[in-house]
Amino acid sequence: AMQSKLLSGGKNIIDHTNEQQRALEQRKQEITEQKKREREMLQKLEVQEETALEIRETYSSLQQEVEVKTKKLKKLFAKLQAVKGEIQDLQEEHSHERRELEETQNELTKELKLKYLIIENFIPPEEKNKILSRVTFDEDDEQWKLIPLAQVNGGQQLTKRPVSAAGHRRPVSEYAKLAAAMGGNPRYKGENVLQVELDMPSRTTREYDAPSVAPRVRAAVDAALRVEEDVDIDARYKVVF
């Protein structure tokens, strides 16, 4: 898990998070500007329609003109209140998203500091450099990955540690082999230092005794299971009823 969090190429988690945050804010700003342009176009269309309607309208009296314009004023006031409510909702939504992004950034910063603290105090510098030489960022999956050791070592697979010629896991001298064969001192035993004889448990079962069957019953069973002889039938003659 710590290896997957390590970074290379001079790019850390904070810079990557800030880039994503800036791209997200830029996209949101573009969407907001597009909605704003759409609202402006709708408002221009409404103004043009109202202007054309006013040109065509004729009033029979002053009272009628006052009533019509009062209705228009109420309609415009309702639109104004709706726009104010929409602006307030957008501001609250933007504030909420900003707080969430700040909390996420703070959590990532704390996690990054903790990982750096663990790396600096518990991982040797040479091991850290080995991991940093293998780590790379995958642009497609957007995550950090470790390059296999075979690719790091020039494309050659790492060979296993050779065993001794006698087949032992570690080098053993002739004296140690002789002492291990004679037994006694466990120092010269590579494996199975203590050999303990197993204590066999006492038997808790008994052999199965089949129940006795009366001779008459056995004879009846044998007669029923006896295989009957084959019966030959001459089919040369045809019987007609």
Selected residue with higher pLDDT from 241 and 190 = 190
List, in sequence order, the alpha helices (H) in 141-229: 149-152, 174-182, 215-225
- pLDDT score at 8: 47
Most confident of 1-10, 55-64, 67-76, 164-173: 67-76
End-to-end CA distance of the chain: give it in Å, rounded: 94
- Average pLDDT, integer, range 96-116: 90
Whether the CB-CB separation of 56 and 140 falls below 8 Å is answered with: no
Quick one: what percent of the chain has pLDDT higher than 70?
72
The residue among 161 and 122 whose pLDDT is bigger is 122
Distance set, CA 207 to CA 204, 210, 212 (Å)? 11, 10, 15
What's the pTM value of the predicted model, to 2 decimals? 0.33
Q: What is the pLDDT of residues 128-174, one digit of tens each?
A: 888 888 888 888 888 888 888 767 655 555 556 566 666 677 777 88
Query: Residue 59 has which token pair?
Result: 């009033």
Name the β-bridge partners of 123.
Answer: none
Mean pLDDT score, 172-196:
74
Helix (H), strand (E) at residue 97: helix 62-122
pLDDT at 9 over 50: no
**Which of 56-60, 216-220, 234-238 has the highest average model confidence (pLDDT)?**
216-220
Whether the per-residue pLDDT at 113 is higher than 50: the answer is: yes
Domain ranges of the chain: 2-151
pLDDT score for 110: 92
